[in-house]
Chains A and B, each alone.
Chain A
């Protein structure tokens, strides 16, 4: 249920009083033990992952895999000393020193890489969504559950310090009665990339292939859906969706503008829209409650209080920003400690890009034997929601989801 429990409230209150007094988030994480990593899929996301992994002392990129020589060469220029391979099977066969595999291939290719890597005893970090079909989703989840290795679904919110802080406010009841949740993704682009040759067109532009692509709801919505599930501690009971091609009339079949609405068990509605026809305000999630609204935009977050909301002690430290007629309190992890050192401004904005945090958590889970921050089970649950949303979009029919579906994990 979305209502915070007494235990959540007490825990969060204690956390707020101290506001997690630590400056660790401003310092780079160093792995407790060396970790040999292979990256499979060296496109733009893969190269961004390489850049973030390079910041973590102890991580060694020992192998890169990509079927495109151009992408592979671009990756090898960035990962000194790594060996390059055209197939993950060859990599797993030849580079025995690999301990962890990062899967950043197109979604429909996740299954083969993840299942083979888990089968070889490797720890796996797999980008989200885990899969584009129920069959693949079940196969990956089943393989992860059968393995003793760490499996992390690549979700940013659960590792993001700003989101972690904001969640304590939502879970502790600072917003009181939650009225609505809204989120958006907007980025003006065609979602089409130049292919080196016509033979590689399908490989490069897989997002525009309705046979393998879950479209905007699946490819960009998944991270925001997971954030909402995590904040509400709940999964939707129904999903409706619609979409259209508003701008890019180039013969494509995948919508450039989509919206969906999910209903949660306590009646809260989550409205989502995504478009690649416009960029206004980018991506964010908005939690609107009786006493305040929280807006989260991945590298920053704000709380907008209602006029009748009680003033809390920590507000004396608050940094504020004006948004038209509204004043937002900047959500800063470790605010109390930073304020005591007169360094509050140092905490405004994340010290690393959002992608860094889930990767650092993965390395921490592997090298310090800590639980995965986003297990295959969580990846499976949000995968169910994404597939239901996709089905609703394709059929125009509302999809129902039962509480039991989120409890029954593939065996």
Chain B
């Protein structure tokens, strides 16, 4: 008999949720908790508002010279560099540091696992990619624990699916704008520049070219093989909509769209930027 286990944790100033499907709820819960603790570890390491996070340490010390970093930090910063390069600078985690500063000022030594800055006052804001990367790591934990059917999201805007519900091609997700997609071993990122306008008074996305908050009501949804890749491209397409999306990714853009809603827990959470996911499509049958 297929059982569903739902778990959640508060991290990265939002809520992460996991729905797991399988035969043994005790094992599912144990795997889900391990995945959530992985997300909490990511938050502890990559949250720039925490003084004891690894990113705060790097920002504090890297202007003085090479700083040893963890394997996880190295993988994240390399993904950021790769994304910056692939998007011609439209995705840049140093955005907000000031004019003239870019990812090119971050020196990564893969062999000895260190990071240094070419100049002082470099800011690293992992923002959305941290959510995508954390979900990727959580998905790896779940797969290693034998879970083959699960759906996860961070703040309703980052989604990662493992496998698919029985008899379905994937987890059915309604992206802002009304399109319905199926996710199976894929990730989805939904971005809007004005999604936090009501809190911050301006966009939370900084245009790396002007170093100013982005002014656009455009919405972007990207389906990609991993959460990190989806986040890189959804952010980059907000900044530069003329970018060509690489093969293997699927993009959906709209200039205006209705407010999306997540439905992992029916009749609960509303989101200003997220997608609608029909986790209740998972059949509960013997």
Residues of chain A at the chain B interface (Cβ within 8 Å): 26, 28, 44, 51, 54-55, 57, 70, 77-78, 80, 189-190, 192-194, 250, 299, 348-354
Contact = CB atoms under 8 A, between A and B. Distances in A.
A190 B50 contact: no
Interface string B53-68: 0101100110000001
A349 B27 contact: no
A45 to B, nearest CB: 12
A194 B146 contact: yes
Best-surrounded residue of A26, A44, A51, A190 (most CB of chain B within 10 A): A51
B51 A44 contact: no
B199 interface: no
Interface stretch (B30-38, B263-271, B275-283): B30-38
B58 to A, nearest CB: 11
Given A189-B33, A194-B34, A194-B146, A250 B26 contact: yes
Contact of B30 (A26, A190, A299, A349): A190
A28 B56 CA distance: 13
Interface of B: 26-27, 29-31, 33-34, 37, 44, 50-52, 54, 56-57, 60-61, 68, 70-71, 113, 144-146
A351 B60 contact: yes
Given A28-B61, A55-B68, A80-B113, A194 B30 contact: yes
B249 to A, nearest CB: 28
Question: Considering the complex of A and B, which 5 residue pairs feature the smallest CB-CB distances, nearest first?
Answer: A349-B51, A194-B145, A192-B30, A194-B31, A194-B30
Contacts of B27: 194
A283 to B, nearest CB: 14
Given A44-B37, A55-B68, A78-B70, A190 B51 contact: no
Nearest to A197: B146
B51 A350 contact: yes
Nearest to A192: B30
Nearest to A355: B52
Chain A, interface SS category? loop
A296 to B, nearest CB: 15
Nearest to A77: B71
A354 B44 CA distance: 12
A192 B145 CA distance: 13
A353 B44 contact: yes
Given A26-B60, A194-B145, A351-B57, 17 more contacts: A28-B61, A55-B57, A55-B68, A190-B30, A192-B29, A192-B30, A192-B33, A193-B33, A193-B34, A194-B30, A250-B26, A348-B51, A350-B51, A351-B60, A352-B52, A353-B44, A354-B52
A362 B146 CA distance: 38
Nearest to B31: A194
Nearest to B25: A250
12 contacts: A44-B37, A51-B54, A51-B70, A190-B26, A190-B30, A192-B26, A192-B30, A192-B33, A193-B30, A194-B30, A351-B60, A353-B52
A278 B58 CA distance: 34
Nearest to B141: A194
Contacts of B144: 70
B110 to A, nearest CB: 11
Contact of B68 (A54, A299, A353): A54
B52 A350 contact: yes
Contacts of B60: 26, 351
A351 B51 contact: yes
A78 B61 CA distance: 21
A250 to B, nearest CB: 6
A396 B26 CA distance: 30
A220 B117 CA distance: 39
Contacts of B26: 190, 192, 250
A28 B67 CA distance: 10
B24 to A, nearest CB: 10
A193 to B, nearest CB: 6
Contact of A299 (B52, B70, B146): B52
A192 B25 CA distance: 12
B52 A190 contact: no
B162 to A, nearest CB: 14
Nearest to B49: A349
A371 to B, nearest CB: 26
A209 B182 CA distance: 43
A101 B54 CA distance: 25
Contacts of B146: 194
Contact of A54 (B56, B70, B145): B70
A352 B45 CA distance: 10
Contacts of B30: 190, 192-194
